[in-house]
Amino acid sequence: MSTSIESWQGASAAPAENRHESRKRRDRIHGWAFMAPFLAFFGLFLIWPLIHGAVMSFTGKSLTGANSSFLGLANYAEALGDADMWHALGNTVYFTVISTVPLVVVALAMAALVNMGLPAQWLWRLSFFAPFLLASTVVSLFFVWMFNPQLGLINDVLGKVGIAPVDWLNNPDVAMWSIVAATLWWTVGFNFLLYLAAMQNIPAAHYEAAQLDGAGGWRQFFSITLPQLNQTTAMIVILQVLASLKIFDQVYQMTGGGPGGATRSIVEYIFEAGFTGYRLGYSAAISYIFFGLIVVVSIAQFAITRKRSA
């Protein structure tokens, strides 16, 4: 290793000390040169807006340009007393809870079934995963149409078995669940693939031993498969919770946050405060409250998974 590096520095007669020094200098220059393009974008489009957003959140900056004076913590104080903000935050947490459970459980069930050695593997993978590749707007168009109270397929099928039509997206008690259903259809394939890959990495020997002990399919699933998947499940839950907390697209496209704000998410509220209300400063403050929530959740989950794997 070291000999090759020295020879790379050229066959000059310079003392070893010098060569070492020049190599270090060279590495420093190369290192920063390789990093430079990434760092330029990183600084300009991530670090700077992050700082600028924080600064904005202390001002009355608006899209109309007026009143960008320093307000101190006024935006934060207003946000914490803003019932609409709390409502949106509550909706977001509610969505996260009721979407994460099916998105993990259904994915696990799908993977467990497909992993039983079924024929036509590619077909199942294709059907469950294909929706994940669609843009949110395509998914929303599909589901708004399926959920249509008069002409939609879902109410039509329900009608045939004698169930009264449901106004899926306009009933405040139902709308969030409809969005969960669309989200499940859209993204469960991703978790399914993660589970399937993890299951296929469980050594077959585990199952053979269990079979010799006479353990049936269910027993094997609960005593071998599930425990072996602990790490995977922890990872999927973390990714899912963080993804669900950021929900915006489907809600904005399918219900616009309605009816009566029943499905409005915190990201949608950030968007509306900034772009419909023109209050950039206030919107930035809510962004940072949301950021705080994400940080807390990330740290909590990091601590939990660390404890478990230790």
**Residues in 23-82 that interact with another protein by CB under 8 A:** 24, 27-28, 30-32, 34-35, 37-39, 41-42, 44-50, 52-53, 56, 61
Which residue lies nearer to another protein by CB, 93 or 234?
Answer: 234
DSSP label at residue 11: S
Long-range contact pairs involving 292-295 (C-beta distance under 8 Å, separation at least 24)? 293/89, 293/245, 293/266, 294/242, 294/245
Q: Whose CA is closest to 288, among 43, 52, 66? A: 52
Closest approach, Cβ 260 to another protein, in A, equals 20
Q: Which 174-193 residues touch another protein, going by CB under 8 A?
A: 185, 187, 190, 193
Total residue length of the chain: 310
The DSSP H or E segment spanning 40 is: helix 16-42
Centre a 10 Å sphere on the Cβ of residue 253 and count the other Cβ atoms it contains.
Answer: 18
Phi, psi of 66, rounded to the nearest 5 degrees: -75, 155
Query: By CB under 8 A, is residue 278 in contact with another protein?
Result: no
Closest approach, Cβ 84 to another protein, in A, equals 17
Cis peptide before 119 (omega within 30 of 0): no
Q: Which 137-176 residues touch another protein, going by CB under 8 A?
A: 137-138, 140-146, 150-153, 156
Centre a 10 Å sphere on the Cβ of residue 163 and count the other Cβ atoms it contains.
Answer: 11
Give the range of 14-22, 94-102, 171-179, 278-286 binding another protein by CB under 8 A: 278-286
Closest approach, Cβ 132 to another protein, in A, equals 8
Which residue lies nearer to another protein by CB, 98 or 158?
Answer: 158
Which residue lies nearer to another protein by CB, 173 or 275?
Answer: 275
Which residue lies nearer to another protein by CB, 10 or 260?
Answer: 10
